[in-house]
Amino acid sequence: MEKLLIDGESLTIEDVVAVARKNVQVALSKKAVRNVQKSRKTLEEFVKKKKIIYGVTTGFGALGNVTISADDVEDLQVNLIRSHSACVGKTMEQEAVRALMLLRANTLAKGYSGIRLETLETLIQMLNKGVHPVIPEKGSVGASGDLGPLSHMTLVMMGEGEAEFKGKVMRGGEALKEAKIRPVKLDFKEGVALNNGTQMMTALAALAVFDAEILLKTAETSAALSIEALNGILDAFDERIHNVRPHKGQRVAARNIRLLTAESRLVLSGEEAIKRGLHPQDPYSLRCVPQVMGAVRDAVAYARRVVEVEINSATDNPLIFANDNSCLSGGNFHGQPVAMAMDFLATALTVLGNVSERRTARLIDENLNRGLPQFLVHKDVKKGLHSGLMYAQYTAAALASENKTLAHPASTDSIPTSANFEDFVSMGPIAARKARAVLENVEYIVAIELLCAAQAVDFRGPEKLGKGTRVAYELLRKHVPILKEDRVLSGDIENLKTIVHEGGFVEAVKTVAGDLE
């Protein structure tokens, strides 16, 4: 496979996922090499002229007014990394660490940080050879960027800290030695160039957006399967309704449900429902799928736009503008854009899980499910002896409730740091971690809806399903058999959650209905 060329300008979320999860190799573009070298040369000229530059010839944060002598500028960078390596808690997942490393390399490749080319190439070597720094996940407030997590990354570049290499955790220096990578001796500006930025929160955000898009399409599939299982009324998805309230997400969601249920003999029209003595309209969890899930779609699209900008941004401080022969201090490290986008994503995904759980509750309730047995207990077993899928809904309810707590925005909080000099911070890493936690919970909730909807369809007749929902049902039944007698359900739910996460249902639907938009 060809290497991914990074230049600080053209990285995509899909590129991030490929490097993070598929170990795609990375290299600098020729343009990036030129820009990095030009930026470094400009900075070196500033230092020769004894120009006062924050973080190069001064201390950091509230100590930015303290001038550092020329003899101490290298120690300044090393001390910065050591002192800021103070994160705690569980270590970040390997895929998140790889994404973080890639994003840091990409922002440095833009050529505004003044880092030496060989230092940047060391980071890329680590990524390509699988030297993964051990980074505790808690400790960053998201301004000045993700200082702590990125310092833990940089420690390993220096031959310190801890790293995972070939499945073993070892000292950073040992990992570099085994990978045949020479440790970096930090020069002026390089510590702050490496640890000052939004790469932890943005790495988590990029993975979350990618997974959320898959989850959303899967949730539309589970919704369509539930609509069929409940003999839902398809009038609500008519294109004309959504053209007169033309939110993009709403129109796409309605179109996807029509695609998934095409050729179905289980759905009804309003007129058919009346003839059967049914209410001519479905409850909101069915009828308003386009409006609710469309709004989620628009929220995910917003998060994607923010992340796509952020992954190709210069986010450290100060920045070197070689073309203008200038060095400027600013606040591009502040994570507020990412923090707010991740809070919005967490809220949207919470809604997605809430409405999915409501359909699950309807599927198992004989008072609401249009003739299906209570708790979808199989007809061949003794009544009252089996609980069927009763408790699956309990689990969905628990996860939906947990999400309502996790959806509380992190970005509205701020606790000042650095002796009140850094007096308003983003809490972006917390927002990103919460969004990922909500996402995983919703993957379980949707898996539970799929489990219950498939069981309900077995009573109606799977051969009557639409062409899109039919292949989703068939995939599910390859992994989870129909529930005839009570059994432990955890394994079934875990299996389906894995398929949901990996996009299995989306890929299955694509074979007959095309790619859901």
Is 338 inside any structural domain? no
Same domain, 97 and 219: no
Distance (Å, whole) CA 412 – CA 4: 37
Instruction: Tally DSSP H helices, then E strands, for the chain.
Output: 20, 9
173-195 mean pLDDT: 96
Residue 418 amino acid letter:
S
Query: Structural domain of residue 12, as residue ranges?
Result: 4-197
Of 142, 173, 197, the residue that ends a domain is 197
Is 50 inside any structural domain? yes
DSSP 105-140: HHHHHTS-S---HHHHHHHHHHHHHT-EE--EEE--
Same domain, 158 and 48: yes
Same domain, 137 and 257: no
Is 319 inside any structural domain? no
pLDDT at 61 over 80: no
Is 284 inside any structural domain? yes
Residue 62 pLDDT: 67
Order of all β-strands in the sheet with 132-133: 132-133, 162-165, 168-171
Same domain, 471 and 389: yes
What amino acid positions are annotated as catalytic residues? 54
Q: Give the pLDDT band (50/70/90) at residue 379.
A: confident
Reported as a single tens digit per residue, the pLDDT across 287-332 is: 999 999 999 999 999 999 999 999 999 999 999 999 999 999 999 9
Is 191 inside any structural domain? yes
Is 321 inside any structural domain? no
Of 167, 197, 227, the residue that ends a domain is 197
Same domain, 48 and 71: yes
Is residue 391 within a helix (H) or strand (E), and if so which, with residue range? helix 390-406
- Indicate the Cα dihedral angle 429, 433, 434, 436, nearest 10°: 140
Reported as a single tens digit per residue, the pLDDT across 125-144 is: 999 999 999 999 999 999 98
Q: For the chain, give the mean pLDDT.
A: 95
Same domain, 184 and 238: no
Residue keyed to tokens 């570099």: 176
pLDDT at 66 over 80: no
Q: Give the pLDDT band (50/70/90) at residue 461.
A: very high
C-alpha distances in Å from residue 465, one per residue of 272, 395, 437, 479: 17, 27, 33, 19
DSSP 432-462: HHHHHHHHHHHHHHHHHHHHHHHHHHHHH-G
Residue 47 pLDDT: 87
194-222 mean pLDDT: 98
pTM (2 decimals)?
A: 0.96
Query: How many domains are contained in the chain?
Result: 2
Same domain, 182 and 304: no
Distance (Å, whole) CA 244 – CA 51: 61
Reported as a single tens digit per residue, the pLDDT across 407-453 is: 999 999 999 998 888 889 999 999 999 999 999 999 999 999 999 99
56-81 mean pLDDT: 80
143-153 mean pLDDT: 95
Same domain, 185 and 283: no
DSSP 59-107: -SGGGTTSB--GGGHHHHHHHHHHHH---EEEEPPHHHHHHHHHHHHHH
Of 197, 230, 262, the residue that ends a domain is 197
Is 320 inside any structural domain? no
Q: Give the pLDDT band (50/70/90) at residue 64.
A: confident
Residue 1 pLDDT: 58
66-86 mean pLDDT: 86
Q: Is 233 helix (H, G, I), strand (E, B) or coil?
A: strand
208-222 mean pLDDT: 98
20-29 mean pLDDT: 98
Same domain, 109 and 177: yes
Is 52 inside any structural domain? yes
- What is the domain-level CATH number for residue 124? 1.10.275.10
Residue burial 221-235, b: 16+ Cβ < 10 Å; e: rest: bbbbbbbbbbbbbbb
Minimum mean pLDDT range among 25-39, 64-78, 354-368, 474-488: 64-78
Same domain, 105 and 223: no
Q: Which two tokens stand for residue 372?
A: 């299906």
Distance (Å, whole) CA 308 – CA 311: 6
Same domain, 158 and 56: yes
Minimum mean pLDDT range among 108-117, 223-232, 283-292, 377-386: 377-386
- What is the domain-level CATH number for residue 460? 1.20.200.10
Same domain, 52 and 160: yes
